[in-house]
């Protein structure tokens, strides 16, 4: 039996199979109907829009500025500002009220006060430094300055007080040139022959004590001092009589001034 065989056709190319996944939906275009239907203005002003949607709305307003008047944005902003004023709160662009220490007059006053205090501190520091230098110079001078040689001798008779010490000097020793002062204290009236003499610089301190000083046959107690031996000032001399047991008993007082 004769059988005819039809020629075999080439297989057709595979047609692409549509994806079973969910296709991304195209974003709706921004227009006036979309804005009104989705309350874009209210959502934008309330900050409830996503970033991409807010950018699309801003871009649309930039391209269609007449939309600002159509949606009444100016009136809404004015109403919001009036509401902020009624509540006592400042507008966002005005910023918060400055506290009293943040205000310009207070800051200027504080800066001026700080500058004044700094200037006072500088002046006081300079004075302290100058005083310290002066004290160091005087101390060094007192430590290093030798006695000037006496070129003359001055005999001085002193009548001491019997009633008590006095701050007023009865004689002043010294001058431009150094001299020896031969002080003769009249103690002829005293029953003692041996004395102790204490020398104190008034308002400062004790300078020295002379023990067992005897008076001469005329009843005078001699003390010789170089006028540069003591610093300038007033010195109080206390004369005490010594008994045979060495007990002191006040006899007389005298104040002598030294000048250089």
What tens digit of pLDDT does each residue of 42-71 get?
888 777 888 888 888 888 888 888 877 777
Q: 153-258 domain in CATH 2.60.40.10?
A: yes
Report the predicted TM-score, pTM, of the whole model to 2 decimal places: 0.44
Contacts of 81 (CB under 8 A, 6+ apart): 91
Q: What angle do CA 252, 258, 259 make, to 5 degrees?
A: 160
Lowest mean pLDDT among 58-62, 84-88, 234-238: 84-88
Distance of alpha carbon 43 from alpha carbon 50, whole angstroms: 10
pLDDT given for residue 173 in this prediction? 81
- pLDDT above 70 covers a percentage of the chain that reads 80
pLDDT given for residue 21 in this prediction? 38
* Residue tagged 């540069």 (tokens): 228
161: helix, strand or coil: strand
Distance of alpha carbon 133 from alpha carbon 128, whole angstroms: 9
Nearest Cα neighbor of 238 from 161, 126, 131, 178 is 161
> Up-side HSE of residue 214: CA atoms within 13 Å toward CB?
3
240: helix, strand or coil: strand
Examine the pLDDT at 9 and tell me if it is beyond 50.
Answer: no
């Amino acid at each position: 039996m004769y059988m005819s065989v039809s020629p075999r056709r080439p297989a057709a190319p595979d047609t692409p199979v549509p994806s079973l996944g969910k296709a991304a939906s195209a974003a709706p275009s921004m227009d006036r109907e979309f804005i009104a239907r989705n309350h874009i203005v209210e959502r934008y002003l309330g900050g409830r829009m996503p970033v991409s949607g807010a950018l699309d709305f801003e871009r649309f307003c930039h391209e269609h500025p007449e939309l600002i008047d159509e949606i009444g944005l100016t009136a809404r902003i004015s109403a919001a500002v009036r509401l902020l004023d009624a509540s006592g709160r400042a507008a966002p662009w005005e910023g918060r009220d400055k506290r009293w220490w943040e205000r310009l007059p207070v800051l200027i006053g504080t800066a001026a006060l700080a500058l004044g205090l700094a200037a006072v501190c500088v002046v006081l520091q300079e004075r302290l430094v100058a005083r310290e230098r002066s004290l160091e110079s005087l101390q060094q001078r007192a430590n290093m300055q030798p006695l000037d040689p006496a070129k003359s001798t001055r005999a001085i008779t002193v009548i001491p007080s019997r009633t008590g010490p006095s701050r007023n000097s009865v004689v002043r020793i010294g001058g431009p040139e150094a001299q020896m002062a031969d002080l003769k204290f009249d103690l002829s009236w005293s029953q003692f022959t041996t004395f102790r003499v204490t020398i104190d610089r008034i308002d400062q301190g004790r300078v020295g004590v002379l023990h067992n000083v005897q008076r001469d046959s005329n009843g005078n107690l001699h003390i010789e001092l170089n006028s540069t031996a003591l610093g300038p000032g007033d010195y109080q001399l206390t004369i005490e009589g010594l008994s045979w047991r060495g007990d002191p008993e006040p006899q007389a007082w005298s104040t002598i001034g030294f000048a250089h």
